[in-house]
Chains A and B, each alone.
Chain A
Amino acid sequence: MYKKKVESHVIKTSEKSLGKRILMHRELYIMLIPLAVYLAIFWVWPLYGVQIAFRDYNAALGFWESPFVGFKHFTRFFNSFYFERTLRNTIGINLYSLLISFPLTIILALMFNEIRSQGFKNFAQIASYAPRFLSIVVVCGMLLTFFSASTGMINHILAAIGLERVDFFAFPKYFWHIYVWSGIWQGIGFGTIMYTAAMSSISKDLYEAATLDGANRLQKMWYITLPGIQYVIIVLLIMDLGHMMSLGFEKVLLLQNNLNLEASEVISTYVYKAGLIEGKYSYTTAIGVFNMAVNLLILSVSNYTSKKVRGIGLW
């Protein structure tokens, strides 16, 4: 009802020839030159480094002279005893994280948006960004402390209400929860920024009109605010899906141990530890290529689906 209608006064350009169209948009192309130069220098030029995924990199021989080995590294990874486990955990954690944090971030952004007192709103927002500034090492240190079976705060509470103490890091089943929820704690505040920015661009008139129509707060959120930021929501969702294979190793490494490894061994930690033994750049790069391929696949599918359903997509 309150969706903005976009009228198109655009002259149909698709009927013109390609050459003419490029000419028409020449100014835009000029504006794209900085990016083009930037990409050419800092992305395309070094791209030759990717080839070591298919070679046995020897520092003394260099990139072009190192022996070519085809898909050897990939096969090695796929045949590894832990391949399924790392894949399962990486995707599992990311999916779990996405399903929970995505909606929660939006809800929090909505809640912030509804705060009437500007002072409190500012304070709440700044405060919520603060955890993002903490380093991973400190966060993990705190997690290990808080959840410690003997001296942790959580267990003290459990004991106080008569429950048994639990060593949360000794069992695979708790790992995902601890990892994801601590990630939410750390990132949710900062994650609302994007939505807050988008919300601030929604025309105030729409809200006033709605009030006149007798809408309550929840209805306004549902019919004005959410649709107003749907574009941003969908784009962010697609991009999050497109990072399904990517999971940083530092935090996992600090929290994992042999007892919860079943749930905590992810691709990045596995590769990191393998790399420690021999320092092989080729292997790491190959796995990076594999991750990229899968990520791109998921991204393309999500993008395609989104365009079909909502008409919104990355390209």
Chain B
Amino acid sequence: MVTEQRQSLPFWRKLKYSGFDYVNYFLVLVFLIIILYPLWYVLMASFSDIYALIDTPVLLSPVDFTLDAYKKVFETNEIWMGLKNSLLYTACGTALNVFMTLITAYPLSRDTIPGKKWMMVLITMTMYINGGMIPNYLVVDTLGMRNTIFALILPGAVSAYLLIVSISFIKSTVPESIIEAARIDGCTHFQTFCRIIVPLSVPLIGVLSLQYGLNHWNSYTSALIYLDERNMYPLQLVLREILIRTEVSSMMNDIMTMSYEIDYEQQVALREGIKYVSMVVTSVPLLIIYPFLNKFFAKGLVLGGVKE
């Protein structure tokens, strides 16, 4: 139908892309360049000699190409262990997160549930206040979770923010009529959840996976506090340690009492380089995984058009 209509239009309308499209493409392209250049900078800088980098305003290719920073980072095999750990923590943690968030979001999206208002207020409050680091630690410790993966994925299993977003998402995108139809047909809430909510929330699952996943991937403070075993360290912690090893602790003190006057500046250069390498190493796995996640959104497009 649409194509037939097209034939009667003047020629500029027959083009696959309209003027609107060209403008849109152009703007997005400009946006992309602005976005991407600094990333390119980081990539190039990771291969550059830091001191040579200083006077170079625009960086299109590495300056004084060097692999020193990379060598330092990959010197030990710790980084692969860190990578493996992070993948594990992220996968398990995110799965738990998504499950907990969804199964909680559905009931709270039902306006009729008694006590909803107070539950929402409570959840909102958890966004803002919590007992602080020491009590949290004591809880984890008392439960015997230290040095286990649980210490990393159980606290923070549900983000109030993402929970609220999920509730809004379900409320606004899953038509009330479908749920009613299911209920009338005799579905239990649980069946409704599994058969209707979840499939229709595929884009939401994608969002949650990304948000929670990124959070797990970048986190290190929990690991710092709860893990003593080095071979359980996640990637970020390993990278931080590597960074710190090249760092001179208290600059003043070390300059003064360290009579060796060891290549302090060499250390500094290495440290700067390592920061860039860390960025590259951290981002690469994410950028590889993302396209797979993107399928969630694509699927969403198909399922979105469920007929009433």
User: A204 in the interface, Cβ–Cβ < 8 Å?
Assistant: yes
User: How many angstroms from the CA of A58 to the CA of B56 in the assembled complex?
Assistant: 51
Give B8-57 interface residues, CB cut-off 8 Å to A. Answer: 16-18, 20-21, 24-25, 27-28, 31-32, 34-36, 38-39, 41-42, 54-57
Per-residue contact bits, chain B 175-219, to A (CB 8 Å; 1 contact, 0 not)? 111001000100011100100000010011011001100100010
User: B7 in the interface, Cβ–Cβ < 8 Å?
Assistant: no
Per-residue contact bits, chain B 131-172, to A (CB 8 Å; 1 contact, 0 not)? 110111011000100000000001111100100110011011
User: A254 in the interface, Cβ–Cβ < 8 Å?
Assistant: no
In the complex, are the beta carbons of A204 and B36 less than 8 A apart?
no
The number of chain A residues touching the other chain, given as a range, is: 35 or more
In the complex, are the beta carbons of A135 and B278 less than 8 A apart?
yes
- A residues in contact (CB < 8 Å) with B: 4, 6-10, 13, 18, 21-22, 25, 27-29, 31-32, 34-35, 38-39, 41-43, 45-50, 52, 63, 108, 111-112, 114-116, 118, 120, 122, 124-135, 137-139, 141-142, 146, 151-153, 156, 185, 189-190, 193-194, 196-198, 200-205, 211, 216-218, 228-232, 235-236, 239, 242, 281, 285, 288-289, 291-292, 295-296, 299, 314-315
In the complex, are the beta carbons of A314 and B35 less than 8 A apart?
no
CB-nearest residue of chain A to B34: A185
Given A9-B177, A46-B138, are A201 and B164 also a contact pair (CB < 8 Å)?
A: no
User: How many angstroms from the CA of A231 to the CA of B172 in the assembled complex?
Assistant: 6
- Our pick among A125, A153, A292 for the contact of B128 (Cβ within 8 Å) is A292
- Our pick among A27, A111, A146, A314 for the contact of B188 (Cβ within 8 Å) is A27
CB-nearest residue of chain B to A289: B129
A142 vs chain B, min Cβ distance (A): 6
B116 vs chain A, min Cβ distance (A): 7
User: How many angstroms from the CA of A35 to the CA of B106 in the assembled complex?
Assistant: 12
Closest 7 CB pairs of A and B: A46-B131, A231-B172, A49-B131, A315-B120, A46-B135, A197-B203, A49-B135
Per-residue contact bits, chain B 287-306, to A (CB 8 Å; 1 contact, 0 not)? 10011001001101100111
In the complex, are the beta carbons of A194 and B279 less than 8 A apart?
no
A41 vs chain B, min Cβ distance (A): 7
| Chain A residues within 8 Å of B156, by CB | 42
In the complex, are the beta carbons of B114 and A25 less than 8 A apart?
yes
User: B110 in the interface, Cβ–Cβ < 8 Å?
Assistant: yes
| Chain B residues within 8 Å of A10, by CB | 112, 176, 180
User: B266 in the interface, Cβ–Cβ < 8 Å?
Assistant: no
B251 vs chain A, min Cβ distance (A): 16
User: How many angstroms from the CA of A307 to the CA of B17 in the assembled complex?
Assistant: 41
In the complex, are the beta carbons of B17 and A315 less than 8 A apart?
no
In the complex, are the beta carbons of B291 and A122 less than 8 A apart?
yes
In the complex, are the beta carbons of A201 and B300 less than 8 A apart?
yes
In the complex, are the beta carbons of A141 and B275 less than 8 A apart?
yes
A126 vs chain B, min Cβ distance (A): 5
In the complex, are the beta carbons of B173 and A198 less than 8 A apart?
yes
| Chain A residues within 8 Å of B301, by CB | 200, 204
In the complex, are the beta carbons of B129 and A42 less than 8 A apart?
no
A189 vs chain B, min Cβ distance (A): 7
User: How many angstroms from the CA of A314 to the CA of B290 in the assembled complex?
Assistant: 30
- Our pick among B18, B279, B298 for the contact of A133 (Cβ within 8 Å) is B279
B177 vs chain A, min Cβ distance (A): 6
- Our pick among B106, B165, B304 for the contact of A235 (Cβ within 8 Å) is B165
